[in-house]
Structures are given as C-alpha cells and as structure tokens.
Amino acid sequence: MDHEAEAHRTDLMTITRYVLNEQSRHPESRGDFSILLSHIVLGCKFVCSSVNKAGLAKLIGLAGETNVQGEEQKKLDVLSNEVFVKALISSGRTCILVSEEDEEATFVDPPLRGRYCVVFDPLDGSSNIDCGVSIGTIFGVYMVKDKDDVTLDEVLQPGKNMLAAGYCMYGSSCTLVLSTGSGVNGFTLDPSLGEFILTHPDIKIPKKGKIYSVNEGNAKNWDGPTTKYVEKCKFPNDGASPKSLRYIGSMVADVHRTLLYGGIFLYPADKKSPNGKLRVLYEVFPMSFLMEQAGGQAFTGKQRALDLVPTKIHQRSPIFLGSYDEVEEIKALMEQNLLQVMLSPLPLVM
Ligand code: FDP
C-alpha cells in the first residue's frame, strides 16, 4: 500500500472544511450558516442516493401507487421534498421554507426556528427522471432580522438579497455548486468517502460563449428580440462561426454546462406564456446569483434578474443568463425593440 499517496488523499478540501474556513473569516459568526449548509448537503446526498437507486427500487412510480410489498410508493420529487423539508427543519436554523412542491410556504414551529429562509426546488427537471437524464436540486437562502416575527415578505425579496445560492446536479457525478456571495465553487461527491470535495474552485464563466440553450420548439411564439438573437446564433452576420445548440430540458444541467463552458441559457416569454416558465424564487434567482458571482449576467428581458421583486412565492419570469457578452447582446436587442415600439405610431407585430 502506498501510504504516502493515501496520506495525500486525506488532505482534501471537503465542503465542510471549506465552509468552516469561510466561517473563520467572520469572527462574529455563530456557525449557524455552516450548520444549515451541512443539512442541505445531507439532503443532497440522500436525494443523490435515491436518484441512483431509482431504476432499481422502482421509486419512479406514481405517487400514491403501492409497490409489491404493499407499501405506498413515493415519486422521487415527492420523496426529495420530504427529505429536504425534514433536513432543513431539523437543522434548527430555518424559519420559512418555500418549496416548488408545496403550494404554501412552511413556517417552522417557534421552538425549532432559526434565522434563515430557504427557497428550493427539491428535484428540478423532473420530466427527465424516467429516462435517467441529469436532474438537480436548486436552493437559495435569505436571512431574517427577527425570527420571532416573520411574515411571507421575508421571502418576497429581490434575489440580490440572497445570502447564498446553489444547486446539486445528480448526473454522471453528483456535483454541488455553491456561492455564499464571494465567488462560485464546485464540489464533487466522492462516493467512496461520502464527502463533497472541492473540484472546481472559483468558477468563472467565459466572457463569450459558443453555445446557446433554449427550447426552440416554442420559437413560433417568441417575441422579436428573442427570435433575432437566436437567428444570429445560427446565422451570424459578422463573420463569426454559428453557435452550437445544446438543450437538455433540465435547468440544472443546462445551467451547469453554461457556467463551465460559457454561452447562454434562455427561457424567454412567449405568446402562450408571457411570464416564461421558470419560477423566480427557486429557479431564476439562485441561478442568476451564481451567474453574477461567476462573472456572467442574468436578465429577465426587462431588468437585471436579481432586482426583480416577487409578489408571489411561485411567480414565474422569463430569463436569459450566461456569459457577460451574450447577455449584453440580448439586452441591446430588447432595448432597440423598446425604442422602436415607443417611436412607432403602429404596434409592432410580435
Ligand atoms: P421540468 O419541467 O422537467 O421540471 O422548470 C422545470 C423545468 O423542467 C426545468 O428544469 C427545465 O429547464 C424546463 O422546465 C424545461 O421546460 P421545457 O420542457 O418547456 O423546455
């Protein structure tokens, strides 16, 4: 046995070590955030293990169905929600939870309350579960001033007020990408150790990208600027090469690729869905937070995504996010269109 190599293997930057290091940079910190994060990490590990076993354990049946043992089966997204709700409440550090799976927000009982609100989608991209495509958990964290006097307004805040955001992707490997407001770091689960190891330190998105990612099946209902932008990706008029199209249809996977390789991910408004499809609190905000922290941008078509003030917990918004220069282009096209609309005596055909 190569003892030296083994000893070297133990000198790893685990997510726990990373968070404790970060905590020590804030002497006033009481360690509450580190505890909260360790519970989020536990939820991710649990869901990762369930996702990996899904095909074998027949966890992918319909919620409410019974399996051969006569036990009620839980669909993976229902199970993942229960896992995260329990993990977050048992941390003793949360006061409000907003989950994609629950119509109403959960107010944690006063004896178990802490200062954090967590907004999350426990298993995003669920239409991809049955075919084994990458899916993920997305989360964002806000902090309240007074945990004994909390209202829903604590989570109806612009994304720029989030303290932290991240996602965990259950794919060919299990990768947790996190920002606590000073850059973005990626950790990969080492299944033999059961630990997330820092594998992608200080992620920076390339300033320009060669990939666009969108559901082009909706193209006939897009507005003018979106159509123009995508046309330009395919038929650039400046001598550049056309961009490649990559669309998995699972936000975590599409955003993860965008973050690492650069490019743009868009889920725009269209005539059928004027607010787009993706949810502000637990899809648009956390991903926009990560993009900005990695040097990219996120835009709703009208404003910086993180400036949006949601009025409902399950509100939707169009989103364009990714490399700085790509989002700049979309912004310019939107602005141009707005100017034309203002100057035109006749309404433009969308
Ligand atoms: P899903 O419906 O499979 O849960 O908001 C959920 C989401 O997936 C995102 O993960 C994904 O980016 C988007 O919807 C895909 O929507 P389309 O199928 O309309 O392209």
CA of 124 to the centre of ligand 1 (A): 8
Q: What is the mean pLDDT of residues 280-307?
A: 98
Residues 6 or more apart whose CB falls under 8 angstroms from that of 66 comprise 72, 73
How would residue 61 be classed by pLDDT, with cut points 50, 70 and 90? Answer: low
Is residue 350 very low, low, confident or very high in pLDDT (cuts 50, 70, 90)?
A: low
Q: Does residue 75 carry a pLDDT above 90?
A: no
Give CA torsion, residues 210, 211, 217, 218, to 10 deg.
Answer: -80
Q: Pick the atom of ligand 1 nearest to 254's CA.
A: 12
Distance CA 291, CA 275 (A): 21
Q: What's the pLDDT band for 54 if we cut at 50, 70, 90?
A: confident
Please work out whether the CB of residue 280 comes within 6 Å of at least one atom of ligand 1: no
For the four alpha carbons of 44, 45, 51 and 54, in that order, the dihedral sign comes to negative
Please tell me the residue having the least CA distance from ligand 1 atom 15. Answer: 249
Q: Please, which pLDDT band fits residue 49 given cuts at 50, 70 and 90?
A: very high
Q: Which of 15-24, 32-41, 113-122, 203-212 has the lowest mean pLDDT?
A: 15-24
Q: Note the pLDDT of residue 147.
A: 87
Q: Indicate if the pLDDT at residue 105 is higher than 80.
A: yes
> What tens digit of pLDDT does each residue of 181-232 get?
999 999 999 999 999 999 999 999 999 999 999 999 999 999 999 999 999 9
Q: Name the residue of 135, 250, 258, 272 whose CB sits within 8 Å of the most ligand 1 atoms, as the mutation to test its pocket.
A: 250
Q: What is the mean pLDDT of the chain?
A: 91
Q: Does residue 110 register a pLDDT over 70?
A: yes
Residue 133 CA, ligand 1 centroid: distance in Å: 12
Lowest average pLDDT, out of 53-67, 94-108, 162-176, 325-339, goes to 53-67
128 C-alpha to ligand 1 centroid (Å): 9
Tell me if the pTM is above 0.75.
yes
Contact (Cβ atoms closer than 8 angstroms) between residue 141 and residue 162: yes
How many angstroms separate the CA atoms of 183 and 269, rounded? 29
The pLDDT assigned to 339 comes to: 87
- The order of strands in the sheet holding 94-99 is 106-107, 94-99, 116-124, 135-143, 164-170, 174-179, 185-190, 195-200
**CA 253 / ligand 1 centre spacing (Å):** 11
Q: What is the pLDDT of residues 78-98, one digit of tens each?
A: 999 999 999 999 999 999 999
Q: How far is CA 15 from the centre of its chain?
A: 18
Residue 146: per-residue pLDDT: 87
> What pLDDT was estimated at residue 9?
64
DSSP secondary structure code for residue 131 in this structure: G
Tokens standing for residue 266:
């868009």
* 346 pLDDT more than 60: yes
CA of residue 127 to ligand 1 center, whole Å: 7
| pLDDT for the residue numbered 225 | 97
